[in-house]
Structure 1
Amino acid sequence: MMKTKTALKTLLPAIVVLALGWWIYSRFDVWFGNRPEPAYTASVSPHRILLTFGTADELSRNVSWQCDSVLRSSCLLLADTLRRDTLKIEATGEVFRSRSGVAAYYVARLRTLKPDTYYSYQVRTGSQASEWYHFRTFNGATADNYSFLYSGDVQDTIGGKANELLQTAWKANADAEFMVFGGDLTERPMDKFWAETFRGLDSIGQQHPVLNVTGNHEYLKNLVRSLERRYSLVFSYFLDSMVGENQVYTLRYNDMQLFLLDSNREFPYLWTQKKWLEEALRSSTARWKIVVLHHPIYSIKGTWNNLVQRLMFGSLIEDYGVDLVLQGHEHAYARMTNHDADGQPTTPVYTVSHCSPKTYRIDFSDRFDRFGISDRFYQKVHVHGDTLTMTTYTTPDNQVYDAVDIIKQGSAVQLIDRGSNIPERLDFIPRPGKKKDLRYQKKIEDYKARKVKDGNV
């Protein structure tokens, strides 16, 4: 008997080690492997043209594009539409060699723009020229009525619906001035998916400034993740704003300031970002502060998810008066409101959103006010006078799904939940015989029952 017990004590750890080793082996490619990138040849005409912001103020712009695989003399022609003045702005270029191809990237930096002005521009590389595109600058620092659109993960499949959905959103919100994405705008760091990303942004990204934070799908997976240089060559504001190897950026737009973080990195990088964010928040005089990052500070997939990001940034967000936190990654919708010592709702408001064909299963924690699992979403952030309104829409039907007002009068902050009377859409059809689906369906029903019991329906 004693020999049997001794053998079991010896054998059990070996079984655990073998099982753990097999599990790691089975998951190794998922965690650390990268799909091969199909070979590609860069177009010899200027293409993948993107209008972004430049330095940290609302009147700076960058225009990036790709053309051929060797550097040529390149510039941007900028025309003031009303005055008919045309400037020639020289572009900087850089050749990037990916795993399976070579392409030349260019950036023109526009730094003499005037407020409330219509501009036209054309990019030129060698003897090749693009068509003319148009954009408008708005009223500048004195404006008290302006808005932008936000979308979480797009991460579209080849030939997907991103362009249709984004076009629908812009047509319904023609007054929006720019667009922000919460990372994973591109499915994988491959040329074919970059092509799909630009197809999704077609006629939007050339006319409205686009900002994007880094998402995990935009990284190459290794024991230490790496971000290809072409990411910064496309989202060219990072070329001048990076802190070490951290893709961080801040934009002061009228009386609002955005702070973009890279939540994908390992602890030492996040620590550097924490110090950067604290200094940027401390020195900010903006009335409205908005933090954008890919991984939610408070996960909707489990309490322990994204713990490092929460430890790094959570207290700074609350201590320095951030109003809104825009997040992605978890492929569902959720809104969480902070509460003060008296239990009254206050800032920050945390939002998780996505506009992807993929949806993930989530937990239904009581700390969140609302969820959405069955739709794609986008947000409109609208500053008007003493109020910032975040309205969530489903797409492509543009139906209001949620809304919250943040009102500031002096040092007082008031929140009005305008989405509490809008029904949540939590449609889920379990597949026959799939126990995992049935458990998820039960979780949804339990959440609905709690809402009824608490009088929140």
Structure 2
Amino acid sequence: MQTNLRAPRSPFDRLPRRAAIGVAAAAVCAAMALGGLVSAAQAATPSTTTDVILLVGADESQRVVNWYATAPTPQVVQVALSSKVKKGEFPADALTFDAVVAPNTVNGGYNAHATIAGLEENKKYSYRVGGDGAWSPTYDFGTRNFGASNFDFLFFGDPQIGSSGNLAKDQAGWVDTMNVAVGANPNAELLVSGGDQVETANTEAQWDAFLAPTQLRSVPWVATIGNHDVGGKAYEQHLWTPNTDRGPQYYKTNTATESGGDYWFEYRDTLFIDLNSNAYSTSAAGVDADQAHLAYVRSVVGAHGADADHIVLVYHHSIYSPADHANDADNQKRRLDFPTAFSDLGVDLVLQGHDHSYSRSYEIKNGQKANPDEQPGQDEVFQGPGGVIYVTANSASGSKYYDLTDPIVGSSYGPDPLNPDNHWANSVENQEHVRSYIKVSVHDKQLQVEAIRSGTCAAPNAAVELGKVKWCGPDEGASSALPVGSTIDKVVIHTAK
């Protein structure tokens, strides 16, 4: 599939890049080759491709593509400017990127991933995957202005496809949320996961349903591992991540049978760090995983934080949970281990899932409310040094919701003096048993966070349809559900840096 011709260099390859990313991108670019179509006659054993997903790369000039193949033929992703793809035919100068192919340990066949590098800004690209002439359908994605600081990304809590017991209803809610969210925000550049893509780690029918939204082949998914994803290798085989440290200290107990790892990437002026919070007290390395995560964050921030205007952490287990998981033993440990370190490291925003309800914290510094005068639901926050905002996302699919819990008086996670119904850390806590997502708008010295309804009490809403919850709507069902696209909560965070 390769020739000795070198692919044309992107104009952005000549610009100074951050060192670590530059080296990685250069290594991938060196593997690029010009290639035309390969006829089916050349394929000894054509391979069928399924489960294609577009994933985030090491920076805005990269994308990763992941897919499954039925045969161990050489696999590639082929890319061209969309304007050059005519009637499904790719031009002779289309670029091909070799895939890493490995046996699929979950359901047979093979999993493949390839990194597309050297992308140019403000372009529309088409791609397809396969090998030996057996191609997938053609998919499209676009790039935006690499130099601009303003961009939007969307954050989704726990699709957990299969958790309602009705796979079709869970898929319908998930597909509808993606249609609503990306339809309302067509310029969103990343789709960020809160974890728990599926209910059961190695159940491929659930992964197929999770991968059903067409947007997952057009806008890069930023994977996060949840407790329902960790118990098998399907997560790693479906969702390849950049700059990943797969050392045993970042796995829960067993690197051979579980998924894990911590990773980071840079996108425009924002440094994203994603942690496997399933490993917390112990790990496959026999060390305290929380301390290993903090060492990892310190290392990444030390190497790349100075280049970033914003630092965003993502992991699954919400340490300021408002619902069923509020006082879990593992969360109590993370509440002791994480907040001071995150304040010291200049983290701006922490995005979490797991508790299937929405919350937005006050500005938290060193594990305490930073500004005693900050009011519940305040829509503008001026972040001081060390101030961090923690956000928990509700269910994006409607497969499962958890009701808000009452804070325990006298505990370390007791009631808010300004709003005793809420836990002390949280400015806003919300549960309506409707699907939702979170939009984050990144600006120079400012982050805007908005929780938005993507559904109502009507179908598709699996937990409501199946009677898994007893009410639906604001005020524990006392008020009628508000329309799709309406805002649950919105805050402008003026960042300190």
The TM-score normalised by the length of structure 2 is: 0.67
The DSSP-based 3-state class of the residue aligned with 1:218 is coil
CA contact (8 A) 1:263 1:309 kept: no
Structure-2 residue corresponding to 1:420: none
Asked if 1:257 is matched to 2:271, the reply is: yes
In the alignment, the residues of structure 1 paired with residue 491 and residue 65 of structure 2 have an alpha-carbon distance, to the nearest angstrom, of: 34
Partner residue of 1:384? 443
Is the 8 Å Cα contact of residues 149 and 443 (structure 2) preserved in structure 1?
yes
Say if 1:153 and 1:183, in contact at 8 Å, map to a contact too.
yes
Alignment of 1:315-354 (within 5 A): 315-338=340-363, 339-340=369-370, 343-344=373-374, 346=383, 347-354=387-394
Mapped partners of 1:52, 1:134: distance in 2: 13
Alignment of 1:230-379 (within 5 A): 230-237=234-241, 240-245=243-248, 246=250, 247-267=261-281, 268-283=288-303, 284-285=305-306, 286-301=308-323, 302-303=326-327, 305=329, 306-338=331-363, 339-340=369-370, 343-344=373-374, 346=383, 347-354=387-394, 355=396, 356-363=398-405, 364-374=422-432, 375-379=434-438
Distance across 1 between alignment mates of 2:233 and 2:399: 27
2:61 match: 59
Matched, 1:115 2:94: no
> Residue 401 of structure 1 aligns to a residue in which SS?
strand
Structure 2: state its 5+ residue gaps: 1-45, 85-90, 251-260, 282-287, 364-368, 375-380, 406-421, 456-483
Tell me the secondary structure at the aligned position of residue 390 of structure 2. strand
For the aligned residue pairs, the C-alpha RMSD in angstroms reads: 2.0
The answer as to whether partners of 2:69 and 2:130 remain within 8 angstroms in 1 is no
Q: Per-residue displacement from partner, 1:177-221 (whole Å, max 9, x unpaired)?
A: 11001100111111111111112xx2111100001211001122x
2:274–2:313: 8 Å Cα contact kept in structure 1? yes
Instruction: Please name the residue that 1:169 is paired with.
Output: 181
**2:47 pairs with 1:47:** no
Larger Rg: 1
Moved over 6 A (4+): none
One-letter code aligned to 2:298? E
Kept in 1, the 8 Å contact 2:280–2:334? The answer is no
CA distance in 2, matches of 1:290, 1:197: 25
Shift of 1:281: 2.3
**Number of residue pairs matched?**
353
Q: Using the alignment, how far apart are the partners of 1:72 and 1:250 within structure 2?
A: 31
SS in 2 for 1:233: helix
8 Å contact 2:314–2:350 — kept in the other structure? yes
Paired residue for 1:214?
A: 225
What is the aligned partner in structure 2 of residue 427 from structure 1? none
Query: 1:138 aligns to what?
Result: 144
Letter matched to residue 52 of structure 2: I
Unaligned 5+ runs, structure 1:
1-42, 221-227, 413-457
Note if contact 1:54-1:236 (Cα within 8 Å) is conserved in structure 2: no
Structure 1 match to 2:7: none
Post-superposition offset of 1:387: 2.1
Partner residue, 1:125 = 131
Residues 336 and 351, structure 1, Cα contact 8 Å, conserved in 2: yes
Aligned partners of 1:391 and 1:402 also within 8 Å: yes
- Which residue of structure 2 aligns with residue 73 of structure 1? 74
Q: Deviations over 1:146-165 (max 9, x none)?
A: 11000111112311221111
Q: Do 1:297 and 1:314's aligned partners in 2 also have CA atoms closer than 8 Å? A: no
Conserved in 1, the CA contact under 8 Å of 2:314 and 2:352? yes
Kindly provide the amino acid, as one letter, of the partner of residue 332 in structure 1.
Answer: S
Secondary structure at 1:216 match in 2: coil
Distance 1:138 1:361, change over 3 A: same
Quick check: 2:60–2:266 contact (8 Å CA) kept in 1?
yes
Which has more helix, going by share of residues?
1
Distance in 2 (alpha carbons) for counterparts of 1:134 and 1:95 = 27
The 2-side partners of 1:303 and 1:216 are apart by: 17
Does 2:417 align with 1:404?
no
SS state at 2:316 partner:
coil
